[in-house]
Amino acid sequence: MKLDSNNHSVFLLYYHLVLVVKYRRNVFDDGISDYAKDMFVRLAEGYNITLIEWNHDNNHVHVLFKAHPNTEMTKFINAYKSASSRLIKRDFPQVRKKLWKEMFWSRSFCLLTTGGSPVEVIKKYIENQGQK
pLDDT value of position 116: 65
Report pTM: 0.86
Averaged pLDDT score across all residues of the chain: 90
Output 124 or 107, whichever has higher pLDDT: 107
pLDDT value of position 131: 65
Across 52-85, b (16+ Cβ under 10 Å) vs e yields bbbbbbeebbbbbbbbeeebeeeebbeebbeebb
Output 115 or 11, whichever has higher pLDDT: 11
> Furthest-apart CA pair in the chain: how many Å?
50
Q: How confident is the model at residue 122 (pLDDT cuts 50, 70, 90)?
A: confident
> Could you tell me which residues come within 8 angstroms of residue 68 by beta carbon, excluding any fewer than 6 positions away?
4, 6, 11, 13, 48, 49
DSSP state of 104: S
Worst-scoring range by mean pLDDT, 41-45, 49-53, 100-104?
A: 100-104
pLDDT at residue 132 above 60? no
Instruction: Evaluate whether the domain defined by 4-129 bears CATH number 3.60.15.10.
Output: no
pLDDT at residue 87 above 90? yes
Residue type, 83: A
Q: What is the mean pLDDT of residues 82-97?
A: 91
